[in-house]
Every structure is written in structure tokens, then in C-alpha cells.
Amino acid sequence: MLSRVGTLIGRYVIEHKLGEGGMGTVYLARSRGGRAVAVKVARPELASDPSFRARFRAEVAAARQVGGFHTAQVVDADPDAEAPWLATAYVPGPTLAGLVTAEGPLDETKLRALGAALAEALEAIHACGLVHRDLKPGNIVMAPDGPRVLDFGIARALESTRLTATGSAFGTPGYLAPEQALGEEVTGAADVFALGAVLVAAAGGRPFGDGTPMGLMYRSVHEAPDLTSVPEALRDLVARCLAKDPAERPTPDGILDALEEGAPG
């Protein structure tokens, strides 16, 4: 495949490839004024799917309204391009997954800060009518000014194509809420479940162990999570986030209250 370095996507000049995501290829690019952006370009099979384009257009319109300190702002998009694309502010830093691998589990103070940042991000995302649907350590960048949540605003468009093509749940096993794994209606409570699973992972654990995707989804539906890695003062909150019944999970605002009330000193 020919390199796209130096070519234009919309009005952005590609500098280099950052990686591959669920939607397609992600590039670091710059605007004519020098602003760094991450541009996600849809895979060819998605570009040829009218249902993907329709949902992508609707999701991008909502995602552009998302603000807050803990998200990567959507700054531009073209759902009608030959290969639809989405540009977000580029956030430098390692992912949470990479940070934990390199430096080890987060302590209680850092877990509290992470939980609060993620709760604020979910408040901003949900306020615009979106559900992230795939919150996980690989979608969280640990920027110098705090964690940032990536890849909101594309999940529902991708979900529609995966459900149509394979009948499987969209998301990442181990972080999928039971209702997602079962193909039921998904609300913001599913993101709260994922937040709980992310905190377990950041503490060095695996809430539903290891194994195959089907095994992880089965355990998330039928078995209690393993919270042994989570500091004792945070276990009750994380357990409530990971409740099987969406109605029993706290709201993002409730998570913030619980983190403030239980903070040491």
C-alpha cells in the first residue's frame, strides 16, 4: 500500500500513521495553521456501507457538541468523502493500557483521580446524547493535563455494521456490560460498567479473568467480578459500577460524589 505521508485528508496534511482502530487507519496530521490532529479514516468496506455513513453522520454531529476537560474534541469530519473521516484534537501521551504495562498498577490516589476524570468525560458525552460503548484502557490517553477519553462518536456507527455482518456484540470483552454482551438496549449505564472494569485494570487486575472473548462475555453476564486488586476503600464503588443490573449502577455524578466522600484526608 502506498504511503499517504504528505497527502491531504480534507485540509489536513498527513505526517505519519499512528495506528489502526476499529474504524480504520489513524494518522497524525496538521492543519494549515499548524494544529496537530488525529485523523481517523474509514476502512473501504465501511465507506461502501450506506448504513455506516448515515449513522456516522448522525454520531459526528452529536460528538462535535461534546466538551469537557477529559475528552479529545472532535474538530472536523467529512461523512460524505470517498473514505469518510473524523479529526480530533491530537492528545500526546501513553494510553492507560501502555502506562500500566510500563509502570505498573495505579495507587489509590491515582485511581481516584482517574475515576473522577472518566466520570466527568462520561457526563460530557452522555449530555450530548451519546453512549461511548467501548470505553477501555486503550481508548484513554494519559495526557500531561489529565486523562482524555478517545473514540466517542463512532461506536454506534461501527456497531450497526458489526451487528449486521456478524450478529456479535460491539465493544471489547472484559469491559462489555452484560446488556451489551446480550445484545440488549444500551444506555449510559453500560459506560459506567466499563468505567468500573477500567479501574480494576488500572489497579492491575482483570475483572473477569483471561480467556476467549466468549468466555469473558459469559463471565461478565453470569459471574461476580474479581476485585482483589482494587484498594479496599474503592471496592464498594467499583462493585456498584459493575452491577449486572444497569439500574443498580451509579450515575457519573454519583461516582464523583462517592470519590469525593471517600477521599483520604
Q: Give per-residue pLDDT as tens, 195-248.
A: 999 999 999 999 999 999 999 999 999 999 999 999 999 999 999 999 999 999
Q: Which residue out of 78, 80, 134, 253 is catalytically annotated?
A: 134
4: left (phi over 0), alpha (psi -120 to 50) or beta: alpha
134 is catalytic: yes
Burial class of residue 229 in the structure, from the number of CB atoms within 10 Å of its CB (0-12 exposed, 13-18 middle, 19+ buried): middle
Q: How far apart are CA 231 and CA 92, in angstroms?
A: 29
Q: How far apart are CA 91 and CA 149, in angstroms?
A: 10
Sheet hosting strand 36-42, strand order edge to edge = 8-9, 12-20, 24-30, 36-42, 85-89, 74-78
Q: In this structure, what are the phi and psi dihedrals at residue 177, rounded to the nearest 5 degrees?
A: -70, 155
Burial class of residue 176 in the structure, from the number of CB atoms within 10 Å of its CB (0-12 exposed, 13-18 middle, 19+ buried): buried
Model confidence over 126-170: pLDDT tens digits? Answer: 998 889 998 999 999 999 999 999 877 566 566 655 444 434 456
Calculate what percentage of the chain has a pLDDT beyond 70: 91
According to DSSP, the residues that pair with 14 across neighbouring strands are: 29
- What pLDDT was estimated at residue 167? 40
- What pLDDT was estimated at residue 149? 92
In the chain, domain spans: 8-89, 96-262
With contact defined as beta carbons under 8 Å apart, do 40 and 154 qualify? yes
Model confidence over 178-203: pLDDT tens digits? Answer: 999 998 989 999 999 999 999 999 99
| 121, 189, 245 from 208: Cα distances, Å | 24, 18, 17
With contact defined as beta carbons under 8 Å apart, do 255 and 191 qualify? no
Beta carbons within 8 Å of 98's beta carbon, 6+ residues apart? none
Average pLDDT over residues 5-29: 88
Fold of 8-89: Phosphorylase Kinase; domain 1 (3.30.200)
With contact defined as beta carbons under 8 Å apart, do 173 and 97 qualify? no
CA Rg, the chain, in Å? 18
Average pLDDT over residues 99-112: 98
- What pLDDT was estimated at residue 263? 67
Cell of 232: 479496599
- What pLDDT was estimated at residue 4? 76
With contact defined as beta carbons under 8 Å apart, do 177 and 190 qualify? yes
Write down how long the chain is.
265
Beta carbons within 8 Å of 189's beta carbon, 6+ residues apart? 177, 179, 246, 247, 249
CATH superfamily of 96-262: Transferase(Phosphotransferase) domain 1 (1.10.510.10)
Measured between its terminal Cα atoms, the distance across the chain in Å is 57
Q: How far apart are CA 99 and CA 26, in angstroms?
A: 20
Cell of 156: 454506534
- pTM of the full predicted structure? 0.88
Residue 17 has pLDDT above 90, yes or no: yes
According to DSSP, the residues that pair with 16 across neighbouring strands are: 28
Model confidence over 41-93: pLDDT tens digits? Answer: 988 888 888 888 888 888 888 888 888 789 888 899 999 999 999 999 999 99
